[in-house]
Amino acid sequence: MGREPVEAIAARCGVAAERGHTMAEYTTIGVGGPVAWVLKPDSIGKMGALLSALRHEGWSPRVVGGGANLIAGAGPFDEPVILTRPIRHGPLFEANRVRAGCGVVLKKLVMMCVDQGLAGLEFAEGIPGTVGGTLYMNAGSYGGQISDVVREMSYFDAGGALRTRGVTPADFGYRRSPLGSGDVVVEAVYELTPGDPAELRRRVTATAARRSASQPPGERSAGCVFRNPPGDSAGRLIDQLGLKGLAVGGASVSAAHGNFIVNRGDATPEDVLGLIDSIKKEVRKRAGVELQEEVIVWT
């Protein structure tokens, strides 16, 4: 017997199975090939039912948050893609703690915490993506990272069980969380500290200005492409080697920041992945450094 069709599984889980989409629609850099099915559960319960049923039938669903740290290949992607963005309950404030669903946009969370007079997330102003994706990657900037403030997470494990666990900074690493490859985070709880809303707004404004001055504003990218080598900065290294402006097709190294690849409007997945390969080869040959991708690459 064959697998139960994705459409039938989705229907009994209360989720529509959409056809005719490409991954370019769901990544901030705007590249990616066709997707067989896109599924958008809007609650933790529907997400759990969907993951369990799909995996039971032998499907291997892929999960996407804000698509801010993802480069998708040309595809086609024959397994279902689940979007977590509709799971956006909260933020719910409980004294100095704030609880938010995985689909809540991080920028919205930052500003709501500031309005509540809660400090600790100002570093994240301008980081694209959602609560789930930024937790999974332990996103960070300007000396702060998500692990500094997240204290609890709920997630579905590879076996389909909903689990909740407390976490500390020691559970995380550089762009790494304690979540496994088959785990899907659905909620996070952050512990913040009281602060003056006016002062917090000034910090957020300063962070936004700093980001705007050093990163490509208004251009489509996947954020920082490479991990920083030990004791160095990937962006500084790429800049020092004169690689800003290097292009393959419609993809180019940003003139504003060497660790960003931007889509000039007509980039293909092959352009972006080809440029990544070219940068790595140049840095290896000329600086003796092996750069490693920070972005997630789907092939």
What was the pLDDT predicted at 211? 86
- The SS3 call for residue 236 is helix
Report pLDDT digits (tens) over 217-276: 788 999 999 999 999 999 999 999 999 999 999 999 999 999 999 999 999 999 999 999
First-residue to last-residue Cα distance in the chain: 28
Whole-model pTM: value is 0.93
What was the pLDDT predicted at 217? 74
User: Which residue is it, tokens 């896109």?
Assistant: 38
Per-residue tens of pLDDT for the chain, all 299 residues: 589 999 999 999 999 999 999 999 999 999 999 999 999 999 999 999 999 999 999 999 999 999 999 999 999 999 999 999 999 999 999 999 999 999 999 999 999 999 999 999 999 998 989 999 999 999 998 889 999 999 999 999 998 999 999 999 999 999 899 999 899 999 999 999 999 999 999 999 999 998 888 788 788 999 999 999 999 999 999 999 999 999 999 999 999 999 999 999 999 999 999 999 999 999 999 999 999 999 999 99
Q: Tokens for 158?
A: 């590879």
**Measured distance CA(276)–CA(49) in Å, rounded:** 37
**Measured distance CA(17)–CA(118) in Å, rounded:** 39
Q: Which domains can be identified in the chain, with CATH numbers?
A: 6-83 (3.30.43.10), 92-198 (3.30.465.10), 220-298 (3.90.78.10)
**Measured distance CA(199)–CA(196) in Å, rounded:** 5
Q: Which residues of 203-223 are buried (b: 16+ CB within 10 A; e: fewer)?
A: ebeebeeebeeebbeebbbbb
Q: Are 223 and 191 in contact (CB under 8 A)?
A: no
Instruction: Kindly tell me the number of DSSP H helices and DSSP E strands found in the chain.
Output: 7, 21
Bridge-based pairing of strands 150-156 and 162-166 is antiparallel
What was the pLDDT predicted at 149? 98
Q: Are 153 and 99 in contact (CB under 8 A)?
A: no
